[in-house]
Amino acid sequence: MSIREICRYPAPVLREPTETIHEFDGELKKLVEDMWETMYASDGIGLAAPQVGVPKKVIVIDYNGEKYALVNPEIISREGSVTNEEGCLSFPGIYVNVDAPERMDVRYCDESGEAREISVDGFLACVFSHEIDHLNGRLLIDRVSPLRRQFMKKRLAKDAKSGD
């Protein structure tokens, strides 16, 4: 396993279309392992492959010890809306209030290619939604008001300058 570099906004790979996984092979296994290690090293609870520079439909999530590796996830249904404070490893140090679904049904494959379905709610639904957004090039900064967006950009530019 190895820790990969996390791509920060505005890295272009965060906006790239992501590829569907067809081969559940050693390369995928290695990617998933590296993503776990990278996420834990940064104290994250979720990480999407584009965030480590790989535009593929792969996500890892560990919320309160419940671990999910999602390959080719697809939202089947979503319900309700709640506001939560969310952060993102591609926007280090920034936390913003955003709306997310209250409940979702998601279809995905596990790492070995087995098809699965899961219903998630509460904060876990927010995490699933946030990470699946990554696979569609949708980022935290797209989900805030124009004023807040400006603030986030300024803050990121300042951090980049100070070499943080």
Q: Which residues are catalytic?
A: 131
Core vs surface per residue 31-53: b (16+ CB within 10 A) or e: bbebbbebbeeeebbbbbbbbbe
In this complex, which beta carbon is closest to Ni ion, that of residue 88 or of residue 100?
A: 88
Chain position whose Cβ is nearest to Ni ion: 88
- Cis omega before residue 55 (within 30°)? no
Contact flags string 30-59 toward Ni ion, x per CB under 5 A: ------------------------------
Nearest to 118 by CA among 132, 104, 133, 134: 104
Alpha-carbon torsion (40, 43, 48, 50), positive or negative: negative
In this complex, which beta carbon is closest to Ni ion, that of residue 61 or of residue 88?
A: 88
Smallest gap, in angstroms, from Cβ of residue 107 to Ni ion? 21
Smallest gap, in angstroms, from Cβ of residue 139 to Ni ion? 7
Contact flags string 64-93 toward Ni ion, x per CB under 5 A: ------------------------x-----
Point out which residues bind Ni ion (CB under 5 A).
88
